[in-house]
Amino acid sequence: MASERLGEVISMKEEVIKKACSIAMKAHKLPEKQLYLVEKNRGSSDVIFSFPGSWTISDWFSRSPFGEKMIDPHPPQFASLRSIGNDQVATVNEAFLTRFQAILPQLQNEVVKAVAERKQIVFTGHSSAGPIAVLMTVWFLENWENFIKSDPSTSRMPPICVTFGSPLVGDFIINHALRRESWSHYFIHFVMRYDIVPRVLLAPLSSLEPELKTILDFLNPKCTIHIQEPTREASALYVTVMSNASSVASHAACHLMGNTNKLSDTLLSFIELSPYRPFGTYVFCTGDRELVVMKNPDAVLQILFYSSQLSSEVEGPEIALRSVKDHFNYQSELQNLETKGVAHFDNLEGLPLSSNVGAAGLGLVLNNLGLVSPFQDSFKICLSVLEVPLSVFFFLFFSPLD
């Protein structure tokens, strides 16, 4: 672990991150017919494109169980998002893809103009606008060489995608493709420790539809009616999502470890697992003075589950409601970004494998992320059930990708 400034770790200026977060929140207030927001200041080298979120279930799940769709290979919508070895195309969320396709024709001329002006292109989005920013960035990267060929004087700066509380977008092939193209580091995702939205697509629609509808109404910045705090719905949604996240995380850990435990295969015969997986760089906001940066998508998937666990049943309703409210706390969390410490986990060196890690340094960071005692005891129990040694599991978490 190394403690550095966030901008140094992710190669993005802190002021640009805060500006992107502010604009991402501002985009939620756009009129219905305005599909995107462009922010460019005189004298600035950055142009930020942001998108409004959607708060209807049909814009999150096009169908049951998970609303996914394979990218059309004829002609390819995203030629890069495929596994070359077995010629398999990526799967993405259909509702997000449909919104992207509706916005692109209006946006692309603005992007081409900004490139011609030699600007740094930043795509950003909060909540369900995050996936739109992701897909716009992939589109840009696939057309980047064409921009340069058409006008050699245009900007050669790659785009940046930064999301806040974004749900997952697609399957493991996206991560595979972005790493193959050396594009993965252009995608940066901020996630509050308890925010339920980045985890919600790990659960099938049928298991959460009534509760999700209420929660989306509660979160909708344009909602004109007063909605009481949805304590009951938040609790039900939290339990459902984390239960499904547990299944996905456990199966992924077994698969990565080459585990032969029959439990994993039996699980698949009873439960249909979500196809969605993380990619890019994740910045976990602990709610304290530390940020945790992780670039290993397999580790990120486990953190999305383990970091949101309860210390006791008593705190269940409180954490469940916080998992909803934290979804709009990114701007306040990142307000003093320059003063926050950054824990960047690269390897196993110095990582404690016992719960006696002390009250400062690495131990404090892991504790703030929910990965140290008292939760670590249940962490060990889970691993023992799966027959995965703790040391091996931590190797998965903190070993380099390459």
127, 155, 166, 250: which is the annotated catalytic residue?
Answer: 127
Contacts of residue 360, defined as CB under 8 A and 6 or more positions apart, other chains included, come to none
> Contact at 8 Å (CB) between 244 and 204?
yes
176, 189, 251, 327: which is the annotated catalytic residue?
Answer: 327
Active site residue 127: yes
Q: Residue 68: how many CB atoms within 10 A of its CB?
A: 21
Q: Which two tokens stand for residue 124?
A: 């950003």
Q: Which amino acid is at 328?
A: F
CA distance 16 to 10: 12
Q: Which two tokens stand for residue 231?
A: 């304590």
CA distance 103 to 30: 14
CA distance 334 to 329: 9
Provide the CA 141 distance to its chain's centre, in angstroms.
Answer: 19
Largest CA distance in the chain: 62
Please report, for residues 75, 132, 182, 195, 245, the alpha-carbon distance to residue 95 in angstroms, rounded to integers and kept in the order given.
20, 10, 27, 21, 21
46, 171, 195, 326: which is the annotated catalytic residue?
Answer: 195
Sign of CA dihedral 146, 46, 184, 156: positive
Burial of 41 (0-12, 13-18, 19+ CB in 10 A): exposed
- Pairing state between β 46-50 and 120-126: parallel
CA distance 198 to 366: 20
> Contact at 8 Å (CB) between 9 and 35?
no
Active site residue 327: yes
The catalytic residues are 127, 195, 327
